[in-house]
Chains A and B, each alone.
Chain A
Amino acid sequence: MESRILQLISALRASGVRVSLAESAEAFSAVDLMGIQDREQFRLSLRATLIKDVKDIPTFEKLFPLFFGSGQPPMMGGNPMDDMTPEEAQMLAEALRQLAENLRQRMERLMNGEPLTKSELEALGKLVGLNQADNLNYQNWMAQRMIRALAFPEVREALKELMEQLAQMGMSRGRIEQIRDMIQQNMRGMQEQINQFAGERIAENLSERPRSDNVDSLTNRPFHALSDADKKLLQREVKRLAAALRTRIALRQKHAKSGQLDPKATIRANLKYHGVPMEIRHKDRVRKPKIVVICDISTSMRFCSELMLSFLFALQGQVRKTHAFAFINHLEYISEDFNGSNADEAIASVLWRMPSGHYNTDLGWSLNDFNSEYMDTLNGQTTLIIVGDGRNNYNDPRLDIFSLMSRRAVRTIWLNPEPPALWHGDSDMPRYAPLCNNVLKVSNLRELAEAVDTLLAA
């Protein structure tokens, strides 16, 4: 049982669920307490201790039955020959004899209603390459292949023939249907058994797969080539970066003290001087960082917009006062989309709402939108982050608005996926760049990490 639980835990980890050592220890003490007699309580005690996120519950519910199957033998219909009259049995044997040899064996097998043995399942699995599969999405496909290997389609055809044969021989209609139902039920039982076996085996393979918690392998890969588990890893990394950035911004602003007297602190500090105010305390206002992010999600940026949006999402999770905007040819406020806790959904909803067209990027116009509606979000506490390639399709770059924005903000940071060498053509980057405090090249996770590190060092 213990090794089974450990296998479940490694399969969970392989599927991208983060399970710490403390949590797996916790799972064991919970199981000790609740016992394993009641399967439902057993499941709940594992779930409550191992899974700490709604998003991971479906993964758990999928894996759990694969490791702790219901333990019941597959539903088999029983043997139709048990209550047959000798004549009927005779007829059945006669009809069976008409079938080809291999089909007849299978048919008899189905009629006896005995499930597949372990070694038969193993052999079948080997035949279809089940041992190499370590993705649960392949469970159905693998099961289908095993069923085909068992020649089920042919058996179905043969079953029809058999029924016709029996009808010709004059067996009663009711009896024929009874035989058919039983055989079909047995087939379903076997299918279920195979499906369960395929799932179990894949889950086991999954749990044996070496852990690939290696962020490095992700950093240079294009975003669309990432699997779901990789994406989770990436989001975690991005979240870490956002947290680091937040701390940095907060630290930079913490030092700023206002001149206001703090009576409480002053009295307390001067108790030691018998109430004579010798030390004046000021209100040490911990200023909360504020961030305004404007993100380009036009066609030229699509390859990295998912990465950038997940960075924005993480940033908003870290810094409450984040105002996120996205633009193609006009500006939209997207912070509301980010209010849930599911990054994928939030990003999908933004990208769905703002589909990209061709050659319609207009940063100038978007800045104009910003100027007329959202300028008040920028003040002496705000860090302005622009994400985009600065390619403006020869539209007016509105440098006047941009310089106003950068003057209003404490700091202006531009994250650009293009290196300075490519800033020509319709790129207005050379003109925007002097107005920013930092311009950094970011097109994948590694560069994002470097950019955050640079900002931290600054």
Chain B
Amino acid sequence: MTTLFDSTKTVKAELSKQRYIASDEISTIVYLAYKLGKPLLAEGPAGVGKTELAKAIACATDRELIRLQCYEGLDESKALYEWEYSKQLLYTQLLRDKLNDTLGKAESLAEAADKLAGEEDVFFSNRFLLQRPLLKAILSERPTVLLIDEIDRADAEFEAFLLEVLSDFQVSVPELGTLIAKHRPLVILTSNNTRELSEALKRRCLYLFIDYPTLQEELAVVRLKVPDLNPKLAQQAVEFVQKLRKADMRKSPSISETLDWANALVALNASHLDKEVLEDTLSVLLKHEADLQKAKRQLMAPPPSPRPKPDEFGRFSGN
């Protein structure tokens, strides 16, 4: 570990080195989670940079990022471990001669059985254990960052199963006994809030709600990630997006969509936001047909004067 988070300021600085702009709120709570060794539950609308935060933390602390993407039907064998039985079978076949050697010298049946029992551990060892993300994070020699992404997609049963892992950082494998984490991983759970998580899970976590950024914050992100976009256009674009979020859309554009859009504007070599550029690129921001129509109606409704002067484009960029 090269970096130690030793104050909220260092957290902020280190995250910004990873090109992640953290608000005071985010850096304080990340620092708390780091210091208290508690899982961090990040909630908020899709695309505000929850997963990105985990990645940035992993890079900043120089830890490996282990990611567990949740989905409906995710179970223990996919999340924790599985015995690699085909490898076990293969080994048994290949080692048959060796086994004969070992057991052949035995004088009595009982001795052979004892000897075989002595070798049993070979077949139920870490070698044949297929590590899934959770076990990998626990067994890792070096501290890791464990990202449990979109926990709200997993079933309630899986949530309950996570509780043991998250509170004690240990898992029990019947054949091997209880495996305890060498280093407590820094756990980050994300949720898009599509369903309510259980009280028990929430209780074990620190809670961070990441909302859509303010105009200044978003502008800073756009400047950082899309440096090629000229500042004036960036300002206009971000103002436009902020205005879209205030309108009642089925799916409000997220930061990642703002960045896509900014990249699109750079690619199209746009110099300012006019009706044409907007119509061409709006589908990058809005993914529902109904939203697109609505945005076109509401935000571009005032018909442009026959020869729009440059300073009139402010109308489209929101004010």
Binding site for B on A (CB under 8 A): 18, 20, 22-23, 26, 29-30, 33-34, 40-41, 44-45, 47-49, 51-54, 57, 239, 243, 264, 267-268, 271, 275, 317-318, 320, 339-341
Asked if A48 and B29 sit within 8 Å, CB to CB, the answer is yes
A267 to B85, CA, bound (A): 8
Closest 10 CB pairs of A and B: A52-B202, A44-B28, A48-B206, A48-B29, A52-B207, A317-B195, A341-B193, A268-B85, A41-B28, A341-B196
Instruction: Given A20-B199, A34-B28, A52-B205, output 13 extra A-B contacts at Cβ < 8 Å.
Output: A22-B203, A30-B36, A41-B8, A44-B25, A45-B28, A45-B32, A52-B199, A53-B196, A53-B207, A54-B193, A267-B89, A268-B83, A317-B196
B206 smallest CB distance to A (angstroms): 4
**How many residue pairs bridge A and B at CB < 8 Å?**
77
Residues of A within 8 A of B193 (CB): 54, 340-341
Q: What chain A residues lie within 8 Å of B195 (beta carbons)?
A: 317, 341
Question: With a CB–CB cut-off of 8 A, which chain A residues contact B206?
Answer: 26, 30, 48-49
- B35 within 8 A of partner (CB): yes
User: For the complex, what is the distance from the CA of A275 to the CA of B86, rounded to whole Å?
Assistant: 12
Q: How far is the CA of A18 from the CA of B200 in the complex (A)?
A: 11
Question: Chain A at the B interface: mostly helix, strand, loop or mixed?
Answer: helix
Show 22 A/B contacts (Cβ-Cβ < 8 Å), sorted by A: A22-B204, A23-B203, A26-B36, A34-B32, A44-B24, A44-B28, A44-B29, A44-B32, A45-B32, A48-B208, A52-B41, A52-B207, A53-B196, A53-B202, A53-B207, A54-B193, A268-B85, A271-B85, A271-B89, A317-B195, A320-B72, A339-B194
A449 to B230, CA, bound (A): 62
Given contacts A341-B193, A341-B194, A341-B196, contact A33 B24 (CB under 8 A): no
Instruction: Tell me, in angstroms, the Cα distance from A122 to B168 when the chains sit together.
Output: 49
Taking the closest CB of chain A, its distance from the CB of B120, in whole angstroms, is 12
Contacts of B163-221 to chain A: CB distance below 8 A: 193-196, 199, 202-209
- B43 in the interface (beta carbon within 8 A): yes
Enumerate chain A residues within 8 angstroms of B43, measured Cβ to Cβ: 54
B6 nearest CB across to chain A (Å) = 12
Q: Is the CB of B156 within 8 A of A318?
A: yes
Q: Nearest CB to that of B205 among chain A residues?
A: A52
Chain A residues with Cβ below 8 Å from B63 are none
B-chain residues with CB within 8 Å of residue A33 when the two chains form the complex: 32, 35-36
Q: Cα distance A57–B8 when bound, in Å?
A: 22
Residues of B within 8 Å of A18, CB to CB, are: 199
Q: Name the CB-closest residue of B to A34.
A: B32
A54 to B204, CA, bound (A): 16
Residues of B within 8 A of A271 (CB): 85, 88-89
The smallest beta-carbon distance between B109 and chain A, in angstroms, is: 17
Write the chain B residue with the least CB distance to A250.
B157
A29 touches B36 (CB 8 A): yes
Query: Given A20-B203, A26-B36, A30-B32, does the pair A40, B24 have CB atoms closer than 8 Å?
Result: yes
B67 at the interface (CB under 8 A from A): no
Chain B residues contacting A29 (CB-CB under 8 Å) are 36
- B152's nearest neighbour on chain A, judged by CB, is A341
Distance in angstroms between the alpha carbons of A122 and B309 in the assembled complex: 64
* Distance between Cα atoms of A29 and B28 in the complex (Å): 14
CB of B29, distance to nearest CB on chain A (Å): 5
Q: Identify the closest chain B residue to A49 (Cβ).
A: B206
Q: Is B38 an interface residue (CB 8 A)?
A: yes
**How many Å lie between the Cα of A300 and that of B5 in the bound state?**
61
> How distant is the Cα of A52 from the Cα of B88 in the complex, in angstroms?
45
